[in-house]
Structures are given as C-alpha cells and as structure tokens.
C-alpha cells in the first residue's frame, strides 16, 4: 500500500440486497449516482477492564469490535438510486442488507485500502436543507451488522466470506 491520493481518486459503491445474496450488478450504484461528497469508515476496538481483587493493577483485554461509518449524498431517491432510503425504511426482502464497498484509489500498480462490507444497515438518514448558499444534502450513518466476520487481508477489509 503506497502513495498519497485525494478524494477524487476514490470509489464507493452502495447496493441493497436480500439476505444471503450477493450484488452482481453495480450499474448505477456508484458515488456519482448518489452524489456522494463525503465518506468515512470507522473501526472501533473496545477494551475490557477487570478488577484483580487482592492484586495490584487491573486486567485488560480486547473488547468488542465495531465498524460503522457515514456519508453524505446530494442526489436523492427521485433522481438517483434509492437503495439507502429503501434500506432504512423498508429494511426487508430485497432491502434487508446493504453492501458498501469502495477503495481509496483505483490507480494501477499500487495497492490501496479497500473495503467490501456486505452486511451493512443504514441507521440514520438525515436530510438538511439550508439557504440558497447551502447544497441540500442527506447525512447517512451505517453500521456493519456482523463485525465478528470482518477480516483484513492485504489492504482489504471485508465481511464477505460469510455472506
């Protein structure tokens, strides 16, 4: 993994799907379709602390892993793809899960950070409308529902092996 890039080199794909199925067609599922201007992916690892009765100090160990993130879109269901809205409002059948994948850069010859998360749930869809100088955008939060299945291999963060 090497190289310094900016957001204009990134890719993001978002597609809703039913449980146990994989998205095979990413046509009209990319960042341009949704008008994504910001994207973040956060990986949290907690810690566990236990008192050691009668002994000095406490016992620490790894706690739970969680993956969540957020993004903004300026193209909504009527003009773009409605997977995000369908996921949070309908949330069943073909919209039960959302696959969110992407990469820092698609430049050839280098390995950049990638993610392929097939068990995402949209947890928040917040549309904000401002004045004439403010782009109308929606802020969206998502969480990965199966962090126990997430692994990391040469630049790829994925839970797809158990999809």
Partner 1 sequence: MSYDAMVEIRGYLCSSSNVTSLVPKSQILVGWPQVLDKFPSILITQTAGTDTGYLGYNTSPAGSKLRSEEVTLELDIFAKTRLETYNIADVVVPVLIASGSCKKINDVDLYDDALNVYRKLSTYSFIKFHDD
SS3 131: coil
Q: Using the rule CB under 8 A, which residue among 36, 118, 138, 140 binds partner 1?
A: 36
Do 103 and 117 contact (CB within 8 A), yes or no?
no
SS3 95: helix
Q: Does 11 bind partner 1 (CB under 8 A)?
A: yes
d(CA 154, CA 111): 8
- Stretch of 10-18, 41-49, 81-89, 152-160 lying at the interface with partner 1 (CB under 8 A): 10-18
Q: Using the rule CB under 8 A, which residue among 21, 37, 42, 58 binds partner 1?
A: 37
Q: Does 32 bind partner 1 (CB under 8 A)?
A: yes
**φ, ψ of residue 153 in degrees (nearest 5):** -140, 120
State the residues that interact with partner 1 by CB under 8 A. 7-12, 30-33, 35-39, 105-106, 132-133, 135
């Amino acid at each position: 993994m090497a190289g310094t890039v900016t957001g204009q080199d990134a890719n993001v794909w978002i597609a809703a799907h039913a449980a146990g199925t994989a998205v095979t067609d990413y046509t009209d599922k990319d960042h341009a379709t949704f008008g994504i201007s910001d994207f973040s992916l956060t990986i949290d690892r907690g810690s566990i602390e236990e008192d050691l009765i009668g002994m000095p100090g406490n016992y620490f160990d790894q706690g739970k892993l969680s993956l969540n993130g957020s993004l903004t879109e300026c193209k909504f269901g009527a003009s773009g793809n409605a997977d995000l809205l369908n996921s949070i409002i309908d949330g069943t059948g073909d919209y039960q899960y959302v696959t969110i994948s992407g990469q820092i850069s698609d430049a050839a010859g280098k390995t950049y950070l990638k993610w392929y998360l097939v068990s995402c749930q949209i947890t928040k869809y917040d549309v904000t409308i401002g004045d004439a100088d403010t782009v109308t955008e929606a802020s969206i939060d998502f969480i990965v529902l199966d962090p126990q299945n997430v692994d990391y291999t040469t630049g790829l963060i994925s839970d797809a092996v158990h999809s």
